[in-house]
Structure 1
């Protein structure tokens, strides 16, 4: 009964949110903002404690004797090459966000921090805050969720569902059935709403890129809707083929374009300034990330508290919103890898890449602020979506670099939608590893509708609030999954090397 009601209930809830957003976008955004503000005020300490616990747990498992355990049977081998594996998990997890916020986020933090510190010290701290938001804590949320799903799915032969570890560890009874069903439902809702926000963010950036590329004035909503229509047509073909042919190819192309752009900016820009900033930012981040994970800014003024809620808490909840989606997707492509390999690949490699990425794109923004007369801060204050393109226009071959950002952003949106539709299809078919094309296309339609809602909101702040609203309940489910993993690992007999 509960299993058959899961898909209709999930479609009803996500569809209702989509219809509400289309008919009354302002009302939905206001409701989400108010409710999220109340939750953040009362639960800030709990959210930060939870994400720090997840980071500590994932690192401890990787370094412990359990790190040698395979996510699968002992003779299983990885399905994908290491390069394809890393590009797929990265493209699914954060690709479009890095493009959107690469220059904008460090500058946005700088606007606040510069009121409290020397400008050059403020630039360093703003970069540290950005790295904190996109670094170890974020990827630990993904890693631990994916680790639980992969362990129970491939080593214990459970269905690839959020509820499977709960039912396996605590047994099947009326209570665990209800908790498991609710867990799957919350995961589906969090995935769908979170992905809708990512689609909107990507469309906003592609719109700014197209306007900059062709020298167009602000074209408003109609251009965003035109880009959205092209996007919907573009993500259908990858849904018609298997995961290895569709997702792996798109992810490799997107990461190749983004990597080429990164190297080009590093070599043609103020290389000594950027490399010095990257090295300094890496040192400050790895020396301060752990303590930053326990900061709640309780004793500082209201302006800092508002910033903390709007950025740090929103990001942590955002990663939790994507945890079931990215976690299940990473689990799906990670069979045959050990826990140590899994945690190392999922947590350390993307974190290192993010530090370099923000060091380059945030660094060029700070170079413009500190060493030139370019109105970079004014653009960052008034047009978050366009600040990256403004900076690129002052580099060699601006047409080429802006086109590269547009292409990479578009591909990252497609990979996110395809992987999310795949995961939602898995949930809809009881954890099947290869959902049918019809199921994937159905979820593609729902994800498109939710993306349209976010686009109609026209505001990144509204998008962030709606995502947080869908994700807040899932923090409790993630912690329950971690408990299930730790209990089950006690039964493993790991031979010493």
Structure 2
């Protein structure tokens, strides 16, 4: 059977998943206690680190997008986006947080409203703080986590042509070692985290679907057989979607998701407290933007233990959850973003989903709080702890309750199919080390693995334990992501230097004559005596010819030589202006190790000497070692023409009128 799977990644990953399943299925309570203690320990001791790391991710993305690196394309310079902006946005929304919005759109604002961290519950202040906190958890910071992972993978995958896997982001740090044990370990870790995260989410999604079907249809949905059937249905539909390919399957499902979500959102806004919702949206956005900096680094260090516990159980839990999901969502975002510039990527990933999230949370969260206060009179608050069914209790206060609930069930189901399909695609990509055109059976296999994992955990009651494992694993993932940020910055610097490197002046002037001599110079390292000889035999005569011609026109020109550093310069003074100086000096440069190893000269050393120009205004010089005498003269005249042109420009007088250095005008013998 044809396969692209990488054994060093797949085998350890499946063994690790098998061990975790065994623990969570055979000893669910013990595993839950053990892993939950680990989760609480990590949250308590590293809450500051999570807050700092997530904030760094957001600032890093903004800086990269605003810098000159923002114009770099994710792929070759002529690459074009594979998907339209609408399709791309729909897939971002569906893969990243679509199912979470359905689950927490009502549940989180209501729980914060009833038990806010710093004010009294069930008050207007509590409502304001509930929406601010919800915005914070689902806004820019969450998408910055996904954005960093997605940008790193897309950049190194499409720009450096490295495998579209997590190991590739560490290329600037590990270099060739990404193909060894270190790279296999990183990818295996990402594979286990992705399987655990998606399977856990599928499990909780089945619980919400079951609650909805029980609430709406009155079905008995508590049996393991029914939940297993739901998982099987999701896996089968995901397999059918996988068979049609990413461009057709996931894209079409995502567009269906977005359409249904907008219909549901519009219905809630129009039939709910419409004017209040728009007023609340404006105030929510204002509160969020004005409080974003303070919230980003707030760790409740000075608050009582109650608030600190709330911080660990909510904000830190969210940051850990987004980080643990970042290999999956980031990989998927990277795959669909080829051809976009870095600036387009960052703006799209940060702004588009965040804007939709804020609108969604306002429509559902503020509507729930308003209904509980004005209509239900505490009825929603009484069921707020049952998050699985809370959305469907919320719909009871709207017209067309049954139709609305069925629409939500369909939307949740399609979200799950999309998550399972895109999850199988991402897992297969990691397991295949980024191989393209892997056989269909592999994606179907991973979809089956996800379904089997979710089914076993549901039957054994081990979902909470595996969720705790996933959140603990977020700590090393966060450390890896910080390393990825450093690696990306190094890669971008190398990218900009590579593509902005122009041909040397010696090439611009070169006509192709004496090419054998020039080739010999290029493949052998130039020594300092050879550079000094070049200055005496080529540069100095060129200076003398130009100086003699200038003197013949009535201008002054002097040549100065410095025996200490071997430099020489041609100086043309002008009264009231900065002197024109064209100088050349020997410069010693260190060579990269691989150039020394591959040099044609068997006695090659780790450095080279070059004749490099320098100028009075401090501009960066360049190597002229391949120029012949008449070409040096042409370069001098080019720089002199620039000098005269700048002096005639009123905008540059602040520099050109600066006092020139005249102490070196003493002429050397011609």
Shorter-chain TM range is over 0.9
Is the 8 Å Cα contact of residues 235 and 420 (structure 2) preserved in structure 1?
Answer: no
1:255 is the counterpart of 2:239: no
Which residue of the partner structure matches residue 488 of structure 1?
491
Which residue of the partner structure matches residue 448 of structure 2?
445
Which residue of the partner structure matches residue 157 of structure 1?
161
1:193 is the counterpart of 2:196: yes
Is the 8 Å Cα contact of residues 131 and 285 (structure 1) preserved in structure 2?
Answer: yes
2:91 to 79, 84, 88: 88
Is the 8 Å Cα contact of residues 165 and 187 (structure 2) preserved in structure 1?
Answer: yes
2:371 to 342, 348, 368: 368
Is the 8 Å Cα contact of residues 123 and 366 (structure 1) preserved in structure 2?
Answer: yes
2:112 to 105, 109, 112: 109
Which residue of the partner structure matches residue 618 of structure 2?
none
Is the 8 Å Cα contact of residues 189 and 470 (structure 1) preserved in structure 2?
Answer: no
Q: CA deviation at 1:117?
A: 3.4
- The DSSP-based 3-state class of the residue aligned with 1:492 is helix
Is the 8 Å Cα contact of residues 145 and 324 (structure 1) preserved in structure 2?
Answer: yes
1:67 is the counterpart of 2:67: no
1:214-244 residue CA offsets vs partner (Å, 9 max, x unmatched): 1347745554333223222222211222111
Which residue of the partner structure matches residue 306 of structure 1?
309
1:72-99 residue CA offsets vs partner (Å, 9 max, x unmatched): 1110000011111111111111111100
Which residue of the partner structure matches residue 24 of structure 2?
21
Q: What is the distance in 1 between the residues matched to 2:149 and 2:438?
A: 21
1:429 is the counterpart of 2:432: yes
Q: CA deviation at 1:492?
A: 2.8
Q: Could you say if the C-alpha distance between residues 457 and 470 of structure 1 is closer, same or farther in structure 2, counting changes exceeding 3 Å?
A: farther
TM-score, L = length of structure 1? 0.94
Which residue of the partner structure matches residue 172 of structure 1?
176
Q: CA deviation at 1:142?
A: 0.6
Any stretches of 5+ residues in structure 2 without a counterpart? 501-670
1:398 is the counterpart of 2:401: yes
1:315 is the counterpart of 2:318: yes
Q: What is the distance in 2 between the residues matched to 1:115 and 1:171?
A: 48
Which residue of the partner structure matches residue 533 of structure 2?
none
Which has the bigger relative contact order, CA under 8 A and spacing at least 6? 1
1:126 is the counterpart of 2:136: no
1:132-180 residue CA offsets vs partner (Å, 9 max, x unmatched): 111101100111111011111111111111111323554224x983332
CA RMSD in angstroms, aligned pairs only: 2.0
Is the 8 Å Cα contact of residues 6 and 431 (structure 2) preserved in structure 1?
Answer: no
Q: Could you say if the C-alpha distance between residues 461 and 278 of structure 1 is closer, same or farther in structure 2, counting changes exceeding 3 Å?
A: farther
1:3-44 residue CA offsets vs partner (Å, 9 max, x unmatched): 632110011111221232222222222222011111111111
1:389 is the counterpart of 2:389: no
Q: CA deviation at 1:302?
A: 2.1
1:39 is the counterpart of 2:42: yes
1:239 is the counterpart of 2:242: yes
1:459-480 residue CA offsets vs partner (Å, 9 max, x unmatched): 8865642431343321111111
1:209 is the counterpart of 2:212: yes
Is the 8 Å Cα contact of residues 24 and 466 (structure 2) preserved in structure 1?
Answer: no
Q: Could you say if the C-alpha distance between residues 268 and 295 of structure 1 is closer, same or farther in structure 2, counting changes exceeding 3 Å?
A: same
Which residue of the partner structure matches residue 327 of structure 2?
324
Is the 8 Å Cα contact of residues 184 and 427 (structure 1) preserved in structure 2?
Answer: yes
Q: What is the distance in 2 between the residues matched to 1:323 and 1:429?
A: 18
The count of aligned residue pairs is 492
Any stretches of 5+ residues in structure 1 without a counterpart? none
1:344 is the counterpart of 2:353: no
Deviates more, 1:212-221 or 1:262-271: 212-221
Task: Considering fraction of residues, name the structure with more strand.
Answer: 2
Q: Could you say if the C-alpha distance between residues 264 and 458 of structure 1 is closer, same or farther in structure 2, counting changes exceeding 3 Å?
A: farther
Is the 8 Å Cα contact of residues 100 and 201 (structure 1) preserved in structure 2?
Answer: no
Q: CA deviation at 1:131?
A: 1.1
1:468 is the counterpart of 2:480: no
Q: Could you say if the C-alpha distance between residues 459 and 257 of structure 1 is closer, same or farther in structure 2, counting changes exceeding 3 Å?
A: farther
Is the 8 Å Cα contact of residues 57 and 145 (structure 2) preserved in structure 1?
Answer: yes
Is the 8 Å Cα contact of residues 25 and 457 (structure 1) preserved in structure 2?
Answer: yes
Is the 8 Å Cα contact of residues 113 and 369 (structure 2) preserved in structure 1?
Answer: no
Q: What is the distance in 2 between the residues matched to 1:19 and 1:480?
A: 33
Which residue of the partner structure matches residue 292 of structure 2?
289
Is the 8 Å Cα contact of residues 24 and 465 (structure 2) preserved in structure 1?
Answer: no
Q: What is the distance in 2 between the residues matched to 1:442 and 1:218?
A: 27
Bigger Rg, structure 1 or 2: 2
Is the 8 Å Cα contact of residues 76 and 335 (structure 1) preserved in structure 2?
Answer: yes
Which residue of the partner structure matches residue 147 of structure 2?
143
Q: What is the distance in 1 between the residues matched to 2:291 and 2:437?
A: 42
Q: Could you say if the C-alpha distance between residues 117 and 463 of structure 1 is closer, same or farther in structure 2, counting changes exceeding 3 Å?
A: farther
Q: CA deviation at 1:481?
A: 1.0
